[in-house]
Structure 1
Amino acid sequence: MKERFTLAVTGQSLIKHDIRDIDAPAFHKVQTLLREADLSFTNFEGTILGRHGGWPLKGSFFGCSDPVVLDTLQGIGFRALSLSNNHAFDLGPSGVLSTLEEVAKRGFLHAGLGRDHAQVSRASTGTIAGRRVAIVAMDGGPGPDFMYAADADDNRPARPGVNRLRLSQAIEVDETAFDQIRAIRDRVGYTAIDLANDSQPDDPRHPAPDTEIGIARAVFRRSERFGRTVRIDEADLARNLSAIAAAAKDGSLVVAYLHHHHWASDWYQVPDWVSGVAKQCIDAGATMFVSHGAPVLQPIEIYRGRPIFYSLGNFIFHVRSEKSTWTAPEVWESVVGVCSFGEDNRLIEITLYPVVIGGDEALADRMLERRLAPHLATGESAARILRRCSEQSARLGVDIKVCGDVGVIRL
């Protein structure tokens, strides 16, 4: 086994085009970073239209890609993928089967997607550069029940899908508002049967009768304040923590991954529930925790000597300019985090390389279609990205030393 193992983590890769022929030196430098690491990891934010076909299950936020995008990810240096996200089921079970087939053909270490619930509940493991590595990848939604993998029983066949961490959200309102909502529900005659019908195709929630009201897909909870809360399904969390613990027990370097869209109203803020899940994953044995979903770079925390990347934002983000809401500069800026581990999977240091999707010139261009590939940032762009990450992470006790155009966290 090598004394030092390097694992590079990036923002999510929502990739629709083959970008290998882009001849920008700053993009080549990013590829060099990924290739020089022992293992590079990203979230493939999509589904493959392949041999099994499929049907669009979404409206304007639907997306699928040709298998060539996996060649692209492999060509620029990735060897490990999370497949658990809100786009993994955009073509239904057929897309899941095609994605699994095409990813396996290329030999990626991958997790988060499977043929049934039993398969997605296990860690995916492999030996990379003499180091045993495992990935447990979860998706917290929100998403319909039918996108998540299920085992067969006497009444129905197995369902290919995503590994779930079931989360449910409630809208907190004060006593006065709660009574008003209840009065509206009662006056319009909204019943449990209506709730069940409006919840289709999902099974309905079962609100606590004295403290919660369910109308359509919304649950209102009596509270002393206005706000939102996220409840974590204990069985799902325990199942995923068990997979992490089993992989750690055999000596694997374990990457715990979570994708979710239960963001705070301020994208830069880390919701308390995410922090709790991350730390429970590390307590269970994860070597590191990585998350995507929030479309911006969020702070880094070191917990018990292990890194937590609360959100690495975007690395490849192929979206259209038409009606796009992804115009904030921060959506297009992130870092590549190269983590160095010792023989015992102990974190030694993290080097942060800032990137701008498309480079500074594309960032000034309103045509989002021209922002195709991540460029290594230098000068003021690098300083801006690192300064923002450093200020946020400092609130969590992490000291990022800026050395030229890179940031360094040493333990």
Structure 2
Amino acid sequence: MSASIEQRRHLATSIPGPRSIELMARKKSAVAQGVGTTLPVFAIEAGGGIVKDVDGNQLIDLGSGIAVTTVGNSAPRVVEAVREQVEAFTHTCFMVTPYENYVAVSEALNRLTPGDHDKRTALFNSGAEAVENAVKIARAHTKKSAIVAFDHAYHGRTNLTMALTAKSMPYKSGFGPFAPEVYRAPLSYPYRDAKDVDGAVAAQRAIMYIEKQVGADNLAAIVIEPIQGEGGFIVPADGFLPALAQWCTANDVVLIADEVQSGFARTGAMFACDHEGVVPDLIVTAKGIAGGLPLSAVTGRAEIMDAPHVSGLGGTYGGNPIACAAALATIETIEADGLVERAREIERLMLDRLNRLQADDDRIGDVRGRGAMIAVEIVKSGTDEPDPALTGAIAAAAHRAGVIVLTCGTYGNVLRFLPPLSIGDALLNEGLDVVADALEETR
């Protein structure tokens, strides 16, 4: 962590402070209005579990830049690796004069991702770009075109990934037409499914839809988040993912696991697929992969990954040497510092506290998640009706008190918690105290 930041919440001004207000005015006159922000504060330094703003406020970070700074901001190994790489060279383009770091990151991902089969990896810049390339690879391998995604899915903001994404506003509205041959199947959503719909039943429901309305003979791939991110941190019922995987294998359909948000120790396993022993054909990673630098990857079965022709995959910045150096240092930090187990410790602490809050407040309809990827679904008292207004009010109250929390969900009624794994227990508990106060304030 950044040793210069004391690990405590501190409000030097109201949120936002005067300097952040000035900068927000500059943003308004210089940055396209379509680029929104969650908090109206401007960061100047971050480390451990704290983000410091330009007014001297120190906020508890329960967002990790949307699951990016899993190993913490300014993680020492990452900082040193980036410094060394910048001094050596910043770019040559791997497609022109390659460099070892790209190969080393690929080797590490081939080792770490689920399954012991022969694998290959290709590196890109963002999660959306990697999802697009996974679809390209699956189509090249199967010679089929249709793709199935799921209710509540989020896969990105490019044209193809908008088609895969379920929620219209703000991600898709007004931006069509979208890429064709994309279909949507029902997900397992334990909180909102009927009580008799377990994982096996939900999987059969999805498979029946796919077989009747798409057809396995036309289907190149199923794209699924093992734990959904923007859709609401939905954890499918046990058995749902394995049943889909078995069906894909039997029907020559590529199973693509989008682990952009759930990967790299975030869920208390290196990858969320590991919780049920699911081995996807292709796995997409980004966010937590490189400690805050832009990098993404597609990793998968060698025979599938090698299907595209030479130069069919790539990009000028894909696998940038600085990002690759950061990724190797991030992976070393996860393994050397026991961050998979740390995520499990965070899960135990958070679920204990949030379940106790739920017992006293029927506006918390559901508490769910794994590792340091935990959410509460907010509903109107005495019902299961989503309450996005209350969710926003709770988040805003936490923000004013100096705690970064994020919202998500198809209905806009989910509070999600993504603390960096470098956060200490005391700071995490204080952040949850603030959330509890925000719940009480909004009664």
Q: Greater relative contact order: 1 or 2 (C-alpha under 8 angstroms, separation 6 or more)?
A: 2
TM-score by length of 2: 0.26
- Which structure features the higher share of strand residues? 1
- Which structure features the higher share of helix residues? 2
